[in-house]
Amino acid sequence: MILSGREQLAMHDAEDAGVLTAAIAANGDLLVTDNLNDFITKESLRTDTMVVKASSGKRQLEALRHQRPGADLIVARPFDVMSWLERRLDFEPDALWREITRNPGSRL
């Protein structure tokens, strides 16, 4: 696969830029990674999702949304995605984004 547009994503890590470009090019709806911070761009939207218990205390999780002409992609951590699967949420980006931004920061 030859990807164009990779250089248009202002990201710190070239490998992650390639992963994000591939997900967008494939018209993916959801990219699951525990490395969320490396997928933040100037254009990405960000929302709090839930607060989880961690060994160091409480941790706020977030999700990202990348919208480009002809593409819409949510980037989230595995813990969030497992919760969304349990809640049987629709993973279509518009529907998912509406649901997760409705009650941001819920506690688990």
Is 28 within the bounds of a domain?
A: yes
**Cα–Cα distance measured from residue 58 to residue 12, given in angstroms and rounded to the nearest whole number:** 27
Higher-pLDDT residue of 57, 20: 20
Burial of 81 (0-12, 13-18, 19+ CB in 10 A): buried
Nearest to 33 by CA among 57, 22, 43, 42: 22
3-53 residue pLDDT tens? 554 445 667 777 888 888 889 888 999 999 999 989 988 889 999 998 888
Give me the number of domains the chain comprises: 1
Is 18 within the bounds of a domain?
A: yes
Is 1 within the bounds of a domain?
A: no
Residue 105 confidence (pLDDT) above 80: no
Give the domain range for residue 45: 6-107
**Cα–Cα distance measured from residue 77 to residue 66, given in angstroms and rounded to the nearest whole number:** 15
Q: Which DSSP state fits 34?
A: S
pLDDT, residue 10, reads 67
